[in-house]
Amino acid sequence: MKKTFVKKGLREIWAHKVQYFLLALVIGMGVAAYSSFNDFARYRKDGLDQIFSESNFMDLQVTMNYGETMTTDEVHQIFEENGLSNEVDEWEMRLVYDVFLKHVVDDEIKITKGQVMGQMVEAGSTPGDTVTVNTPLFYVDDPEGYSSEDVQECYIERKFSEAYGIDPGSSINVNRGNTSMDLFIVEQVAVPEYFFVMREGDLAPNEWAFGVLLLPLDTAMDLYTEGENDQELVNDIVLKVSKGVVIEELETKIQEAFEEKGVAVKFTGRDENPSRNFLISDYENDKESMNIFPVIIFIVSAFALVMALRRMIRTHRPQIGIFKALGIPDRAIMVYFSAVGIVIALAGTVFGYLLSIPLNMTFMNIGKSMLDFPVDNYNITYIYYLYGALISLVLCLSCTLIPAALAVRVKPIDVIQGREGVSKKQISRLGEVLGTTSFLPVSLKLTIRNQIRKPFRSLSTVVGVGISLALFLGFMMVLQSAMVAMGGATSELEWDYEVRLEGFQSQDMMTYLPTEYSEIEQVSRSILIPSILDPEDDEYGALIYASEDLEDIFKFDISQGKIREGMIIISEYHSDRLGLTPGDKLSLELPVLDPSYGYSMELIQITVGGIHTNHMGSYAFMSLTTMQNITGLHGMINVIHILTEADVDIRDLENDLITREGVSSVTHSSENADLMEQYMDILIGTVIVMAVISSILAGAIVYIMFRISAREQERDYATMKTLGTSMRKIAKLIFQEAAYITVLGIGLGVIGGYGFSYLMLDRPEYEAMNIEILFNWPAFIAGSIMISFIVMIVSLFTLRYIAKINIANVIRERVAG
């Protein structure tokens, strides 16, 4: 008996193969999205684990402050005398210092800030052979080693090398102070501290602004000491601590041990490394966002599946009644429906696996360009594909069995005699609802009542159309809103150059610049300090800009209050979160300079002077004198903003600024435009992918629903044709219904698009950015045209189906229910 029912199920699928094929395709998209997205996330996670494991990434970095160095023997001695060697498994001493890298870009000399890492490596070997902590990773299997101690060679960090096309085999000019050295580039490497090129204070990776070179310690010393010192000097130690050692306690011991020798040190923990931090948080956030897609697709699939199976079950109700009358148990009848569910699930899984091939390839390419690590671990994780298949099976079975279970509850006699139907109460209510459309022309009445009488079917179609548009529109809105916010944030910066200094320096250090460069209009001195607002209760991070010419270097949009001496301007974001208005007191953590003890972090109370609505919600502002008075940094600054005339020769000024003593970095505002250009490239690629996904989804759902609708109304159409209704007039009914669905679907798509945008932007990294969700008209128009076109094509298919209806057969069928 069960075999017979399974065969019947398969025959049902074959009879409506296109509809079930599309249903399986939609489920397949869900399976593919789930499997590939998770696999990609796993690939990224494995990649991260692998690079940090293969490079034996440090637990702790100890850096000597204020340009101090020690000989390797001295460091060894400190470790031995203080028992530190027992608490450390492995450690590496390096000489790390900043340099200027001179290279050619567009036939012009460009000077980029860089870093040299002198490592204890012998001639003939590579840093990968002998460096045990933060071991550089190579992109080639058999990298070249240093040829001899006499030849000046280096390894170059890959991203910087790629950014400027500085290839192995060429040379790069390295400058420190008055010493210059040409280094032959042996190979490209991945430097563990800079798997993404980020330094402290950077908001995003920037391989254009910073290059890292690895050299033998001797060569590094030649440049550092101008060849005047033959002792091995180091200023940086990276170490792996022994099991069970408490890092904080070790830090205290190291600090005391070094201070005893008159050297101040600072620590960077494993998780404080900016590059590592960025990689991990980026991975975690993306993983969270990507999970939204399969969930949405599975929801749409479930809607379509329930609709298709409800229709199938409705068609088979008289049969169910007969089977029940013949004494066939409910379980056996349900096997029939389960067979349909299982076949769709299996077909969906197969489609999913097939679709995951191009998806995986796409991700692999994205992965390779985005995460250019010297590890290749893009292999399939079968468990996600198995889970994808299981989700598909559970989804299909539950969507099948629930309507089937309801169907087998009917009384056989009611079904056989066609006595099923709505109750009197329902009839009365339905009559009232349908009656509200009685003023309409008859064709519109039919269209609207058809939707009212089959709300679930209508809702599913509208939801299918709506979600497809929402996906497309939402994504475009997120991108546009983010771009506009970024553009807005950029336009709020009136400065042309931001020059960050190494530590705090005298505020008079660059006052001479306008006299040297006539193109410079204004030099504004600032203090930039990251701080924590309300650290005792809420703890909100903020970047405080204190400048002497605030309104010249930033464009302000102040909604409440104004800039006042002795007060702070906070963002709307902080004002909302902390419940502060102008006049309220705010506590914030700032370094305070005590001439006797140096810096100490202290809690400062300050009055809120105003609220700004600028795009960077993490920014707070005050005047330079206010900051100097609070912190005791009288006459000190750490940032200089430069305003220039429009046609200034940027490269000359840039090269000049970057090489000035005490300058840490020079950023030109045009670099933001480059970043925007990169986002545009991503945008175009994303739009194409989203358009394809949305079209397939919309096409499949609309086709399934319209076909179900046409089948449900087959008898009505056959009757209309018998009565002499022309195909042109039937087409009018079909297109009216299509237009009705499209309009509602587009409406839902707009709401969904907004919802989707909020969902995507509701992430910690966007929270502090004042991103206003913008409606993307071009995307809306393009999406609506795309959806309308799909609906029109499907309507033409439906019309073809209706034209082929065998009137004679259909009108003689008995109506059940």
Partner 1 sequence: MNTDGEPLIEARNMSKSYQMGEVIVHALKDVTLKVFPDQVTVILGPSGCGKTTLLNQIGGIDSPTGGKLLIDGQEIQDLSQKKLTKYRQSKIGFVFQFFNLIPNLTAKENLEFVLEYVMDLPSKEVSRKGKTLLDQVELGDRGDHYPYQLSGGEQQRVSIARALSKDPKILLADEPTGELDYETGKKILELLVSFANNGRSVLIVTHNKELGKIAHRVLHLKDGRIVQEIMNEHPLSVSKLEW
Query: Could you tell me if 251 and 99 are in contact, meaning their C-beta atoms sit under 8 angstroms apart?
Result: no
Measured CA to CA, the distance from residue 713 to residue 41 in angstroms comes to 46
Q: Which is nearer to partner 1, 169 or 441 (CB)?
A: 441
Tokens standing for residue 120: 């204890």
Q: Which is nearer to partner 1, 427 or 682 (CB)?
A: 427
Considering the complex, what minimum distance in angstroms separates the CB of residue 422 from partner 1? 7
Considering the complex, what minimum distance in angstroms separates the CB of residue 318 from partner 1? 13
Considering the complex, what minimum distance in angstroms separates the CB of residue 293 from partner 1? 38
Considering the complex, what minimum distance in angstroms separates the CB of residue 404 from partner 1? 25
Tokens standing for residue 155: 């390894």
Q: Which is nearer to partner 1, 495 or 740 (CB)?
A: 740
Nearest residue to 339 (alpha-carbon basis) of 20, 16, 7, 14:
7
Considering the complex, what minimum distance in angstroms separates the CB of residue 748 from partner 1? 23
Considering the complex, what minimum distance in angstroms separates the CB of residue 304 from partner 1? 23
Pairing of strands 60-64, 236-241: antiparallel
Pairing of strands 598-612, 636-644: unpaired
Considering the complex, what minimum distance in angstroms separates the CB of residue 448 from partner 1? 9
Considering the complex, what minimum distance in angstroms separates the CB of residue 336 from partner 1? 23
Q: What residue ranges bind partner 1 (CB under 8 A)?
A: 421-422, 427, 430-431, 434-435, 438, 441-443, 445-446, 449-450, 453, 715-716, 718-727, 729, 803, 807-808, 811-815
Measured CA to CA, the distance from residue 458 to residue 450 in angstroms comes to 9
342 bridge partner residues: none
408 bridge partner residues: none
DSSP 616: B
Considering the complex, what minimum distance in angstroms separates the CB of residue 446 from partner 1? 6
The burial of 410, by beta-carbon neighbours within 10 Å (0-12 exposed, 13-18 middle, 19 or more buried), is given as: middle
Straight-line distance from the first to the last Cα atom of the chain, in angstroms, rounded to the nearest whole number? 27
Q: Which is nearer to partner 1, 63 or 725 (CB)?
A: 725
- The one-letter code for the residue type at 488 is G
611 bridge partner residues: 560, 570
Considering the complex, what minimum distance in angstroms separates the CB of residue 680 from partner 1? 50
Measured CA to CA, the distance from residue 810 to residue 717 in angstroms comes to 9
Label residue 114 left, alpha or beta by phi (over 0 means left) and psi (-120 to 50 means alpha): beta
Q: Which is nearer to partner 1, 8 or 453 (CB)?
A: 453
Integer CA distances (angstroms), 283 to 38, 358, 744, in order? 12, 22, 37
Q: Which residues contact 719 (CB under 8 A, 6 or more apart)?
A: 811
- Axis crossing angle, helix 2-15 with helix 17-54, rounded to the nearest 10: 90
Q: Which is nearer to partner 1, 86 or 722 (CB)?
A: 722
Q: Which is nearer to partner 1, 646 or 808 (CB)?
A: 808
Extended beta strands in 15-71, E state: 60-64, 70-71
Considering the complex, what minimum distance in angstroms separates the CB of residue 817 from partner 1? 9
Tokens standing for residue 285: 């956030």
- Axis crossing angle, helix 17-54 with helix 330-370, rounded to the nearest 10: 40
Q: Which is nearer to partner 1, 564 or 732 (CB)?
A: 732
Q: Which is nearer to partner 1, 693 or 708 (CB)?
A: 708
Q: Which is nearer to partner 1, 17 or 424 (CB)?
A: 424
Q: To 5 degrees, how large is the angle CA 517–CA 520–CA 521?
A: 140
Q: Which residues contact 343 (CB under 8 A, 6 or more apart)?
A: 9, 10, 13, 20
